[in-house]
């Protein structure tokens, strides 16, 4: 039996309310999306939900004690708590350049964790 679920698209700040007609995790139709990314989001959300994750890692001898980092791509949602734990233990040394890879292939997802900014050496 197809069912209807409501999802809020988080792809952009518009936050469209999507009415998703689906059978299990198979999307049949998506209504209410302002652009085509809404449908992609609904399919992804039902089958393999992902989010961009931003956090920070410790940095030695940098201008600040922390370096902001983020996932180069949206990261599988169920693995976010584990990623957060790992990031709390990472320490790098200044200087760091923007987009420098801090963790390669995090948790075997194929997704790198990269620096959000330059961090000059103090």
Partner 1 sequence: MKNLYDVVVVGSGPGGLAAAISAKKNGAADVLIIERDMELGGILLQCIHNGFGLEIFGKDMPGPSYAQHFIEEALSLGVEVLLDTMVLDVRPDLSVIMMNKRDGIQEVQARAIVLAMGCRERTRAQILLPGTRPAGVYSAGTAQRWVNIEGFMPGNRFVILGSGDIGMIMARRLTIEGAKVERVLEIMPYLTGLTRNYVQCLMDYDITLQKSHTINRIIGDKRVEAVESVAVDEKWNPIPGSEEIIPCDTVLLSVGLIPENELSKNVGVTLDPLTGGPIVDNHFMTSRPGIFAAGNVVHVYDLVDWVTEAGFAAGKGAAVYALQGEVAGVKQIALKAGENIRYVVPHLLDIDSLRSESTRLQLRVTQPVEERVRIIVEDEQGDILAKKAEPYARPGEIITLEIKPDAYEMAKKAQKITINCVTVAQKQTTG
The residue ranges that bind partner 1 (CB under 8 A) are 8-10, 12-17, 32, 34, 51-56, 58, 63-66, 68, 70, 77, 80, 84, 87-88, 98-99, 116-118
Closest approach of Cβ 67 to partner 1, in Å? 9
Euclidean distance between CA atoms 90 and 83, whole angstroms = 11
Q: Is the CB of 7 or the CB of 27 nearer to partner 1?
A: 7
Question: What's the sign of the alpha-carbon dihedral 76, 77, 82, 88?
Answer: positive
Closest approach of Cβ 25 to partner 1, in Å? 18
Asked if 113 contacts 72 with a C-beta cutoff of 8 angstroms, the reply is yes
Closest approach of Cβ 1 to partner 1, in Å? 25
The contacts of residue 11 (CB under 8 Å, 6+ apart) are 37, 38, 40, 41
């Amino acid at each position: 039996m197809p069912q209807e679920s409501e999802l809020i698209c988080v792809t952009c700040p518009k936050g469209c309310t999507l009415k998703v007609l689906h059978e299990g995790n198979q999307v049949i139709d998506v209504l209410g999306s302002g652009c085509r990314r809404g449908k992609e989001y609904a399919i992804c959300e039902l089958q393999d939900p992902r989010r961009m994750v931003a956090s920070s890692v410790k940095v030695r001898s940098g201008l600040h004690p922390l370096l902001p980092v983020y996932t180069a791509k949206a990261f599988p949602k169920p693995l976010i708590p584990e990623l957060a734990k790992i990031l709390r233990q990472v320490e790098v040394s200044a200087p760091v350049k923007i987009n420098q890879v801090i963790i390669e292939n995090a948790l075997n997802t194929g997704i790198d964790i990269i620096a959000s900014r330059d961090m000059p050496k103090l």
